[in-house]
Amino acid sequence: MISPLLNRELGVLAFNERVLAQAEDPSVPLLERLRFVCITSSNLDEFSEVRMSGLHEQIRVAADGMTPDGMSLQHAYAVISERAQKLVARQYALFNDVLLPALDAEGIAFYQESDWDQEQTTWAHAFFKTELLPVLTPIGLDPAHPFPRVLNKSLNFAVKLSGKDAFGRETELAIVQAPRALPRLIRMPENLSRHAYGFVLLSSLMQHFVGELFPGLSIGGCYQFRVTRNSDLFVDEDEVTDLRQALQGELSMRQLGDAVRLEVVDGTPPSLVQRLLNQNNLGPGDCYRVNGSVNLVRLMLLPDLVDRPDLKFAPHVPVLPKAFVTAGSVFDVIDQGDVLLHHPYESFQPVLELLQQAAIDPDVLAIKQTIYRTGDDSPLMSTLMQAAKNGKEVTVVLELMARFDEETNIGWAAKLEAVGAHVVYGVFGYKTHAKMLLIVRRKRHAKHTRLKRYLHLGTGNYHPKTARLYTDFGLLTSDEKMCEDAHNVFQQLTGFGKQVPLKRLWESPFTLHANLLKAIQAEVDAVKAGRQGSIIAKMNALLEPSVIEALYQASQAGVTIQLLVRGVCALKPGVPGLSENIKVRSIIGRFLEHHRIFYFFADGEEKVMLSSADWMDRNLFRRIEIAFPIQDAKLKRRVIEESLLVHLRDNASAWDMDSEGGYQKTSPGDAEAMVSQIALLARF
């Protein structure tokens, strides 16, 4: 029997193929094309650390197991590895054969050691001796120096040696790890470079001057390699008594987890490759031979080092909505009615200002906020600390298990507690992914005062930087029922108690999944009764089997379903008898499409929910998520037009999915090209 689901890992790789296609597109500015190469490389790092390591673990536990799409684990691993290898080869071919020559033509050059003239070599040698040599530690391999357990994703060099050292030891191989503090990209002085911007990679310096680490010995070769390790953290719910302390112990081990991938440069001798594979308990399929630097992610810095606006996207300054230009305070604006913010087209500043004004407003009594990701240098967190110092009752539900942000969030937890804020970590076993900011304020009237609540709900993180790069919606409201719902969710997160029915919000793991199925079924019932049924949904990923099955049944009943899924989608669209009324497309562009929107025709009522949750098992059952309604008619039309219909009209940057999981980029043909993100930039 053919599975009704597509493979998750292959779907992730298909997404990264679409990202890499942005780098291949000559209409994209050159330095932005380089960024997309780096983004793909970074995504593949995480893919290895999380998805491939997960498959490794599944195979270890149950070698004869099956994937949800019906493949054996062993076969799936082989198919996924082969596809990943092809993607990496395509990535390096693009970088070497297209982007490097194009950059060179624009006066941006990478100097290999074979390209250096005498003056450049003199400079490079001086730089190596003064900036690199003092911090490098070569490790010669012998019985007293076993093979070191190199850190996750660190840049390393295997150096083949011959000769006897000062102690009479025969030498064969040494390992040198490049400290992470060292720059991977070094700018050559302008007076020495034949280009406006000349750069040398750290690896070029190492390979040319590595002999200085082994005086008197013969160098037989110097080869870059990198090991990627399992980066999942394990915290035992039955054993842990202090989550923060337990995580701190686990974080120190993340760099030394089990190996899942080996990257080596082309030309590395087969015997050395085999030794590295054996050392890391990896097989031949886990080795990626690359033509160039083993870590392209580090080139992400290059566009910021080059002052060439003509080779980058035109600057975009998010718009400040008119209501905030003349208003006395953000509270005054919210008092006039709900406010919708569409990032990055509209500014995140009103959210920061709301918090900043709350921190100093004598009428504000309490501030409650969830934090998932916010960054190392966050004005929002600094404002929360200031509010606590000012005597406000500040409560922060801080998710310590936000993958790869654990250390940052642990640091913020300590700083918040130091100034008197209440910091809680939500419910153990359920990541708090909901985006909520609730403020309690005295509202003064002529003869009396009363407490009024103000609420911000969002589809994205409280992260000012990503608010300029990710598309998200935020809602500012003082709707009493919605504020009461948010209050009850905070009560759940910080205290104990039975589930309280919510009036407006849908909440995972309690009601969001059930309400989704109920809303889908309502469209089915409408069609069966001869009325219109329509669903449009936008999200990052669609994987949850029962939701997919409900969508299949809705399609078979005649409901029209249009899905905008940026990343992985396990649903098969357009299969006769199963999903012929379902279409799936993906939007990849300058901004990362991040908001989640669920639209149901609802007999003409047009129910629109915004959410922090994708349609995945983890979001619906193992996280605390919310979905919230847009009730104002004008704001509802904005959401429908700005985040759904505009993408469905895109005929130049959208990718339409077929029933086998393949994607075809749309083409305008003879029509006028319409790129949805460009259209939205023009509108705002």
CATH number at residue 615: 3.30.870.10
Q: According to DSSP H, which parts of 286-378 are helical?
A: 302-305, 322-326, 330-335, 349-360
Domain membership of residue 177 (yes or no) is yes
Query: Token pair 């008898």 is at which residue?
Result: 577
pLDDT of amino acid 243: 47
Closest Cα to residue 254, out of 70, 482, 53? 53
- Lowest average pLDDT, out of 215-219, 247-251, 557-561, goes to 247-251
Query: Token pair 């035992």 is at which residue?
Result: 236
Report the alpha-carbon distance of residue 171 to residue 141 in Å, rounded.
8
Domain membership of residue 314 (yes or no) is no
Greatest CA separation for the chain: 94
Structure confidence at residue 237 as a pLDDT band (50, 70, 90)? very low
As to burial, measured by CB atoms within 10 angstroms (0-12 exposed, 13-18 middle, 19+ buried), residue 63 is exposed
Question: Is 195 an active-site residue?
Answer: no
My answer on whether 333 and 293 are in the same domain is no
CA 647 to chain centre: 21
Structure confidence at residue 628 as a pLDDT band (50, 70, 90)? very high
Does residue 241 carry a pLDDT above 80?
Answer: no
Average pLDDT in the chain: 92
β-pairing, 218-229 vs 259-265, is antiparallel
Angle between helices 202-209 and 118-127 (to 10 degrees): 90
The dihedral sign for the CA sequence 613, 235, 369, 485: positive
Single residue among 256, 279, 307 that ends a domain in this structure: 307
Q: How many domains does the chain have?
A: 3
β-pairing, 663-665 vs 654-657, is antiparallel
Point out the catalytic residue in the list 433, 513, 595, 647.
Answer: 433
My answer on whether 548 and 668 are in the same domain is yes
pLDDT of amino acid 403: 65
Domain range for 331: 322-504
Domain membership of residue 567 (yes or no) is yes
Binding site for ATP: what residues are annotated?
A: 43, 470, 566, 594
Does residue 64 carry a pLDDT above 60?
Answer: yes
pLDDT of amino acid 572: 97
Binding site: what residues are annotated?
A: 43, 373, 403, 470, 566, 594
* Torsional class of 45: left (φ above 0), alpha (ψ -120 to 50), beta (otherwise): alpha
My answer on whether 351 and 482 are in the same domain is yes
Domain membership of residue 82 (yes or no) is yes
pLDDT of amino acid 569: 98
Q: DSSP characters for 263-294?
A: EEETT--HHHHHHHHHHTT--GGGEEEESS-S
pLDDT of amino acid 404: 62
Single residue among 504, 523, 558 that ends a domain in this structure: 504
β-pairing, 623-629 vs 422-424, is unpaired
Domain membership of residue 398 (yes or no) is yes
Single residue among 458, 488, 504 that ends a domain in this structure: 504
Q: DSSP characters for 171-189?
A: --EEEEEPPTTS-SEEEPP
Angle between helices 73-94 and 8-24 (to 10 degrees): 10
My answer on whether 472 and 549 are in the same domain is no
Query: Token pair 């295997």 is at which residue?
Result: 158
Quote the pTM value.
Answer: 0.92
Closest Cα to residue 333, out of 481, 477, 439, 457? 477
Q: Give me the mean pLDDT over the 150-157 stretch.
A: 92
Q: Give me the mean pLDDT over the 72-77 stretch.
A: 92
My answer on whether 478 and 588 are in the same domain is no
β-bridge mates for residue 193, sequence order: none
Domain membership of residue 158 (yes or no) is yes
Does residue 627 carry a pLDDT above 90?
Answer: yes
My answer on whether 402 and 264 are in the same domain is no
Domain membership of residue 1 (yes or no) is no
CA geometry: angle 234, 240, 243, nearest 5 deg: 80
Does residue 456 carry a pLDDT above 60?
Answer: yes
My answer on whether 497 and 628 are in the same domain is no
Element (H, E) at 229: strand 218-229
φ and ψ at 6, to 5 degrees?
A: -100, 160
Closest Cα to residue 197, out of 110, 304, 116? 110
My answer on whether 275 and 329 are in the same domain is no
pLDDT of amino acid 256: 64
Is 582 strand, coil or helix? strand
pLDDT of amino acid 240: 41
For 217, residues 6+ apart whose C-beta sits below 8 A from its C-beta are: 161, 162, 163, 165, 171, 211
Closest Cα to residue 595, out of 342, 319, 338, 318? 342
The structure tokens listed for 518 are 């109920």
My answer on whether 13 and 128 are in the same domain is yes
CA geometry: angle 16, 279, 142, nearest 5 deg: 140
Report the alpha-carbon distance of residue 244 to residue 401 in Å, rounded.
9
CA geometry: angle 323, 326, 328, nearest 5 deg: 100
Q: Give me the mean pLDDT over the 492-518 stretch.
A: 94
Does residue 396 carry a pLDDT above 50?
Answer: yes
My answer on whether 196 and 130 are in the same domain is yes
Read off the CATH number of the domain in which 266 is found. Answer: 3.30.1840.10
Torsion, Cα 23 28 34 35, to 10 degrees, reads -90
As to burial, measured by CB atoms within 10 angstroms (0-12 exposed, 13-18 middle, 19+ buried), residue 506 is buried
Is 112 strand, coil or helix? coil
Report the alpha-carbon distance of residue 613 to residue 508 in Å, rounded.
9
pLDDT of amino acid 570: 97
pLDDT of amino acid 402: 58
Structure confidence at residue 247 as a pLDDT band (50, 70, 90)? very low
For residue range 86-103, list pLDDT tens digits in order.
Answer: 999 999 999 999 999 999
My answer on whether 606 and 659 are in the same domain is yes
Q: Give me the mean pLDDT over the 565-574 stretch.
A: 97
Report the alpha-carbon distance of residue 398 to residue 493 in Å, rounded.
10
My answer on whether 448 and 528 are in the same domain is no
